[in-house]
């Protein structure tokens, strides 16, 4: 025998050598042969499976249909190769099932039909297919059902697939999007962003890219999105397409911008706040340091704005501030910054000025905006503004220094009469430094005993008897000597220190009155007049503090006279009358100081009804004698007497002035002609020296009705 295939055992060896299972069945479906691989797959031995029906290898749920398939196949036999029979499940001896792939090959021997079934273990391949299917299904679900808008781009940056979330985000359907590049729905100002990013990805410069751009919704709305774009690659690393995952950040961006605006803008007026202004000023100063640009800061303060709040309330005050801001914005250059500094103060940053005159012209424009009244809540309100201006044109200036210098210039504008603009100078800095240092020293002086009260006698002009005295504060500085009252009182007025100083004056004056009880030279103890500042008079604790001081000392209230000026009464007449009535209820009398020099009408005099009016010394000792001056003096005295008010003349310096005042019927007087202001110890000695001169009067001062 020369041919191997003619050998009787060739078929057996060939069957055993095949790595797949071989099962041969006859036309009735009975198993007639199996190879070793078939027994290892099924778990049956040859003896157990030979002559068994093929159904023994078919799971029970498939056996019914298998009979029909077998009959049809025997009738119309046709070779089926591996991979063409579809998925098949084989039942093993132990009842387990395995996935297999089956090839069928019919043949005939001695007019009998046989079928060879080649069985291949398909579990690994099937598992791989299921895994692939699972991955594909999960990916499809992740893509289609994802709440995040997603899309695929091809190599030409065209859309090849989009999910529902993306379609909803920009209001377009899949049919409208597939095949387009992103320029069709991109905001015109953002064209090129996607293309530039795509070029970086295709060139390998980056492995993925994140960027923000704006889309146009079909209805015209702008949609701001954050995009993450990355390539999808095959096993070899080749780019198949590009995956874009996107996030709608329109509301988030709007909220961020809103919060940013709130953090950098005044909530009442919408103007820049201090933080934004400091940043702009810092940049402006940096540019000036590099290029020598000229710039200016104008610090604006509304004159007497407190009166608006006190009269009409803070709601109207806030509306007025908004109106002021709107008016200022109308004259603000595009390159400049307008800021609400706080309260009723505004800052104006002007950059790239050609000359200081341009800053002056700008200040004049601001002043002119206040010439027309403001209409607020149906009320016309006339406002004025004072402006401090500081210039810079080079390095060496800080934001803090600029604003401080503008504040110094503003103070000078206020001091010169308000409703004006003043440029900062180095001399102002020196004055401001001295003023600050002096204020600090004044605070120390109050507690160290440097401040003391002096008292100037007030004389009955008919009898020349002392009937009272005016309390005047004096400061003897340890280094500088006597500091003028108009200097340190003005400093105290600028701070809360005036309230402490005022209470000191009241306490010391009441203490002095208790001394006068034992040294009176006539039948009626003298009174004392104490000056009240504007801030003192409107201090809510004023009346209760005076009541407590009088109660503690046991002093007769009618012996305390409180002096106020017309400027105090004009601020808020309703509040003024309320305070005066409460003081009168205590038994304290009111004196109207500097009468004749103010601007109030005579109707105010009848409203206030002071017990005393004090004629300013400009009428008593004028620079030039004149008929007109004498007529005014006589009219003031006559007015006071006709209104049953006591008239005191200040600044009497000569016998001639005294005689003139006696002729017109003035009640009382004070001045250097009689005595200067003295300490309490000096006053005691003065009284003793003049006891005989002042004795014998029966005059009683009418301090109460």
* Residue 385 CB coordination number (10 Å): 25
Task: Say what the pLDDT of residue 694 is.
Answer: 43
Cα(86)–Cα(84) distance, integer angstroms = 6
- Locate 143 and state its tokens: 């893509």
> Could you give the dihedral angle defined by the CA atoms of residues 360, 362, 365 and 366, in that order, rounded to the nearest 10 degrees?
-100
**Alpha carbon 8 to chain centroid distance?**
102
C-beta separation of 583 from 490 below 8 A = no
C-beta separation of 658 from 673 below 8 A = yes
Tell me the residue ranges of DSSP E strands in 578-673.
589-595, 612-615, 646-649, 668-669
Cα(177)–Cα(400) distance, integer angstroms = 57
DSSP string, 529-561: EEE--HHHHT-TTHHHHHHHHHHHHT--GGGEE
Cα(114)–Cα(31) distance, integer angstroms = 10
What's the burial of 65, exposed, middle or buried (CB within 10 Å: 0-12/13-18/19+)? exposed
C-beta separation of 549 from 506 below 8 A = yes
356 secondary structure, DSSP code = H
Task: Say what the pLDDT of residue 529 is.
Answer: 95
Task: Say what the pLDDT of residue 537 is.
Answer: 87
Cα(346)–Cα(371) distance, integer angstroms = 18
Cα(383)–Cα(362) distance, integer angstroms = 18
**Which regions in the chain score pLDDT beneath 70?**
1-15, 17, 67-68, 71, 74-75, 82-87, 124-142, 145, 260-261, 396, 430, 432-433, 516-524, 567, 569-572, 596-604, 623-624, 691-705
Cα(323)–Cα(428) distance, integer angstroms = 32
Task: Say what the pLDDT of residue 140 is.
Answer: 67
Cα(126)–Cα(133) distance, integer angstroms = 10
* Residue 553 CB coordination number (10 Å): 14
Task: Say what the pLDDT of residue 234 is.
Answer: 82
Strand bridging mode 612-615 / 589-595? parallel
Report the predicted TM-score, pTM, of the whole model to 2 decimal places.
0.48
Cα(199)–Cα(202) distance, integer angstroms = 5
Encode pLDDT of 217-257 as tens digits. 999 899 999 999 888 888 788 888 888 888 888 888 877 77
Task: Say what the pLDDT of residue 695 is.
Answer: 41
Tell me the residue ranges of DSSP E strands in 420-479.
421-423, 451-460, 465-477
Q: Where are the alpha helices (DSSP H) in 187-273?
A: 193-202, 250-264
- Locate 201 and state its tokens: 């990805």
Q: Which domains are present in the chain?
A: 4-124 (3.30.450.20), 146-254 (3.30.450.20), 265-399 (3.30.70.270), 453-693 (3.20.20.450)
């Amino acid at each position: 025998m020369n041919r191997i295939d003619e050998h009787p055992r060739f078929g057996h060896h060939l069957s055993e050598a095949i790595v797949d299972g071989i099962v041969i069945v006859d036309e009735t479906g009975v198993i007639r042969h199996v190879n070793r691989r078939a027994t290892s797959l099924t778990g049956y031995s040859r003896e157990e499976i030979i002559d068994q029906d093929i159904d023994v290898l078919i799971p029970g749920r498939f056996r019914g249909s298998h009979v029909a398939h077998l009959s049809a196949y025997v009738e119309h036999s046709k070779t089926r190769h591996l991979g063409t029979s579809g998925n098949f499940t084989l039942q093993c001896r132990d009842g387990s099932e395995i996935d297999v792939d089956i090839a069928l090959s019919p043949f005939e021997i001695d007019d009998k039909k046989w079928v060879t079934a080649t069985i291949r273990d398909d579990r690994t391949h099937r598992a791989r297919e299921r895994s692939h299917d699972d991955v594909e299904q999960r990916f499809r679900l992740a893509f289609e059902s994802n709440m995040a808008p997603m899309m695929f781009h091809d190599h030409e940056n065209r859309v090849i697939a989009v999910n529902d979330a993306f379609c909803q985000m920009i209001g377009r359907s899949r049919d409208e999007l597939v095949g387009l590049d992103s320029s069709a729905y991109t905001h015109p100002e953002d064209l090129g962003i996607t293309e530039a990013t795509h070029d970086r990805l295709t060139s390998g410069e980056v492995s993925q890219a994140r960027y923000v751009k704006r889309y146009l919704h079909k209805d015209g709305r702008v949609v701001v999105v954050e995009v993450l774009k990355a390539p999808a690659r095959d096993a070899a690393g080749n780019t198949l397409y590009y995956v874009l995952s996107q996030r709608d950040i329109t509301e988030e961006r709007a909220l961020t911008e809103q919060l940013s605006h709130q953090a950098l803008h005044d909530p009442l007026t919408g103007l820049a706040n201090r933080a934004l202004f400091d940043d702009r000023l810092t940049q402006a100063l940096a540019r000036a340091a590099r290029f020598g640009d000229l710039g200016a800061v104008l610090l604006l303060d509304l004159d007497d704005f407190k009166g608006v709040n006190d009269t009409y309330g803070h709601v109207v005050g806030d509306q007025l501030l908004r109106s002021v801001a709107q008016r200022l914005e109308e004259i603000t250059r595009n390159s400049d910054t307008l800021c609400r500094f706080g309260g009723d103060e505004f800052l104006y940053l002007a950059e790239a000025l050609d000359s200081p005159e341009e800053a002056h012209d700008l200040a004049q424009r601001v002043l002119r905006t206040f010439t027309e009244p403001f209409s607020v809540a149906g009320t016309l309100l006339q406002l004025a503004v004072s402006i401090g201006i500081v210039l810079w044109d080079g390095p060496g200036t800080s934001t803090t220094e600029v604003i401080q210098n503008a504040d110094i210039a503003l103070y000078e504008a206020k001091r010169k009469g308000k409703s004006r603009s003043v440029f900062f100078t180095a001399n102002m800095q020196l004055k401001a430094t001295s003023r600050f240092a002096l204020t600090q020293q004044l605070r120390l002086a109050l507690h160290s005993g440097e401040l003391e009260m002096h008292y100037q006698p007030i004389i009955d002009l008919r009898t020349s008897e002392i009937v009272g005295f005016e309390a005047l504060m004096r400061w003897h500085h340890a280094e500088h000597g006597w500091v003028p009252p108009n200097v340190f009182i003005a400093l105290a007025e600028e701070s809360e220190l005036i309230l402490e100083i005022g209470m000191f004056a009241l306490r010391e004056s009441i203490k002095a009155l208790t001394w006068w009880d034992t040294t009176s030279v006539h039948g009626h103890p003298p009174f004392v007049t104490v000056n009240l500042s504007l801030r003192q008079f409107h201090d809510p604790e004023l009346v209760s503090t005076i009541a407590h001081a009088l109660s503690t000392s046991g002093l007769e209230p009618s012996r305390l006279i409180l002096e106020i000026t017309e400027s105090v009464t004009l601020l808020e007449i309703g509040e003024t009358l309320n305070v005066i009535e409460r003081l009168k209820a205590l038994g304290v009398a009111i004196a109207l100081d500097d009468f004749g020099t103010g601007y109030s009408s005579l109707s105010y005099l009848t409203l206030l009804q002071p017990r005393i009016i004090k004629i300013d010394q400009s009428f008593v000792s004028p620079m030039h004698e004149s008929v007109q001056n004498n007529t005014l003096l006589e009219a003031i005295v006559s007015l006071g007497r006709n209104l049953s008010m006591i008239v005191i003349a200040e600044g009497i310096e000569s016998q001639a002035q005294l005689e003139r005042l006696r002729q017109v019927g003035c009640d009382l007087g004070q001045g250097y002609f009689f005595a200067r202001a003295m300490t309490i110890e000096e006053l005691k000695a003065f009284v003793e020296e003049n006891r005989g001169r002042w004795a014998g009067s029966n005059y009683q001062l009418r301090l109460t009705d």
